Amino acid sequence: MNRREFIKFAVAGVSMVAFGRAMQFETALAADAIQKIYKTDEEWKKMLTDEQYDVLRQEGTERPFSSSLNQEKRAGVFACAGCGLELFSSGAKFDSGTGWPSFYQAIEGHVETRSDHKIGVERTEYHCARCGGHQGHVFEDGPKPTGLRYCNNGVALKFVPKEG
């Protein structure tokens, strides 16, 4: 093997090692990602109440001040009523006066957003990252430290109190 062949061989070997490490890193990231779940409309209808189905699967909105979660003040987490993924810590909840449970911060990576123009103005809609269930809209008029207000349909959530 001459010098030129040796250099090509060495560069190829280093490239393969780097590629292998990059693939391990991507696999590790993918392992941390939320695993999506998919159900048919019939499956969702069997497991959700009519109101939950309307909000979570049809992107409806519950009446303001109708959710008992507006008054929930215990320590715990608020999870998606469709799949149980934890979406908000009780420490991020605040009273926005809007009639819907509101939070200034979601659990990182547990909600996904998209633009919504259904009422003629652009809003940011958010969904559960696991099941895609519609939760509500996020606005930039919330308290510090984020300045955000995740305005959530209470029927789309279930409260899980902290143990102990």
Residues marked active site are found at 151
Residue type, 150: Y
Of residues 124, 122, 126, 131, the one with CA closest to residue 106 = 126
Which residues have C-beta within 8 Å of that of residue 40, sequence separation ≥ 6?
none
HSE on the CB side for 150, CA within 13 Å?
26
Q: Are strands 123-128 and 111-116 parallel, antiparallel or unpaired?
A: antiparallel
Residue 159 CB neighbour total at 10 angstroms: 18
Task: In whole angstroms, give the CA distance from residue 152 to residue 110.
Answer: 14
